[in-house]
Copies of this chain bind each other. A is one copy, B any other.
Amino acid sequence: MRNDKINNIEADLLVSGDFVLTFNEDKEIVENGAVAVAGDGIVAVGNSSDLVKEIEAKEELDASGCLIMPGLINLHTHAAMTCFRGLADDLPYQEWLHEYIFPTEEHHVSEETVYWGTMLAVVEMIKSGTTTFCDGYFYEDGAARAVTASGIRAVLGQGVIDFPAPGVPDPRINLKAAEAFVFRWQGKSPRLVPSIFCHSPYTCSPETLIGAKDICRQHGIYFQIHLAETMNEVEEVQKRYGRRSVDHLRILGLLDEETLCHHAVWVTGEEVEVLEKNGVGVSHNPESNMKLASGVAPLPKMLAAGVKVGLGTDGCASNNNLDMFQEMDTAAKLHKVHWGDTTLCSAVQVAEMATNGGAAALGLSQVLGSLEPGKKADLIVIDLNQPHLTPMYEPCSHLVYAARGADVRDVVIDGSIVMRERQLLEIDEQEVMVKVREIAAAIRQAHSAERRASKNPKYDKIR
């Protein structure tokens, strides 16, 4: 463990517990370890008794009986869609999207709903150990306000689609709206990085995609897109442009180190090589892909090829929670059974994806993903004194196969304690839930009205 100039460091916070899982290059695990934080960064990681001697800390967080690890990075979500949690399950994909999700978005999404929906997502994510999330949605200013108010870290992508969309009724100005979002938020908070999120290669024209990527390049920000999520998408792109989705983006010049593709389910071995060669980041979202029957992404191939892959939950309309521990468990198990090999996607590999993998895919490896001096102080404390985490032979096994979001006791983001003993310090959790219940009541009421008015109700499954 390198801790430069460890002697007589002044620190703001010292967190010490039974194990520190550093997720550094050597995957070091420090028993009876501690992490020292000054300002927003980590200044030392090491043995507790050593650090206590050498470091003067203003505040101590006693994590006895606990494990300390980097905060999780949720690489793909649409946070505000917590408002639609459980609104429409077990339906055919096209019906789910076009008869439930899109119409509900059309009538019920405003900057205000995005603010409260994102706040609810942030509450849920912090309470289940996520310290950074990568988002894409409309009215993304609402999400940005929620991020700045809440203490979480995020990459936020304003949505771009060639149809009338919430907040952007005229698609001809969708790129202008996205660029205005970037102007408004770039550099405004150390925890917020703006981005542009093009919906997909079949809902955005080549001109829109190229225009969006140009704006991203001008501002030095990330371009996000849903890529090869469903077989239908790939077939549609093939029909329209005479090439598959990955090739389409490659030929348009969109694949580079500042592009993040979500899903990448229907990609061939050759396409995996293309993604790797171009340094593209990929989010793997197994629970959403399962629930929507989209398919199983070639994750083992992507990992073997060295693609920068992280893990995501996707939005609450297709999961229906944002628990990255459950997502890790599913990722590790799904590929074993799908490819018929128990050794694939080991606990260590999957935990890497949820930390360093996400950081790399976002180009943030220098500051996030592991507990090392010089990185941002984003860490979580997991309470090991619980029946389902007893006994413990291997910490990483427990993170992936046994733990769940509710085991996270404390959360530090950007050097600040944002949750202590499962109590959020920056957010009024009850107020957030009340506000989202009001939004849901309006959605429910509108659906009831539609059901009464229409002979062909779209929402007859909703109570």
Contacts and interface: CB of A to CB of B under 8 A. Distances in A.
Interface of A: 82-83, 85-87, 89-93, 96, 120, 123-124, 127-128, 287, 289-296, 319-323, 326, 329-330, 332-334, 336-343, 346-347, 385, 387-388, 390-394, 397-398, 401-402, 404-407, 429-430, 432-433, 436-437, 439-440, 444, 461-463
29 contacts: A83-B391, A85-B391, A85-B393, A86-B401, A89-B397, A90-B346, A123-B387, A127-B387, A128-B388, A290-B333, A291-B336, A291-B337, A291-B342, A291-B401, A293-B340, A294-B337, A320-B397, A320-B402, A322-B388, A326-B404, A330-B330, A334-B337, A387-B429, A387-B432, A391-B439, A393-B440, A393-B462, A393-B463, A394-B463
Contact of A390 (B82, B319, B342): B82
B319 A440 contact: no
Contacts of A405: 388, 404
Closest 10 CB pairs of A and B: A391-B440, A406-B406, A290-B333, A86-B397, A320-B401, A290-B337, A90-B346, A124-B387, A123-B387, A293-B336
B346 A390 contact: no
Nearest to A265: B337
A299 to B, nearest CB: 13
Contacts of A83: 391
A408 to B, nearest CB: 11
A199 B82 CA distance: 45
A148 to B, nearest CB: 19
A405 B82 CA distance: 20
Nearest to A337: B290
Given A124-B387, A391-B437, A89 B346 contact: yes
A383 to B, nearest CB: 11
A329 to B, nearest CB: 7
A229 to B, nearest CB: 12
A128 B387 CA distance: 10
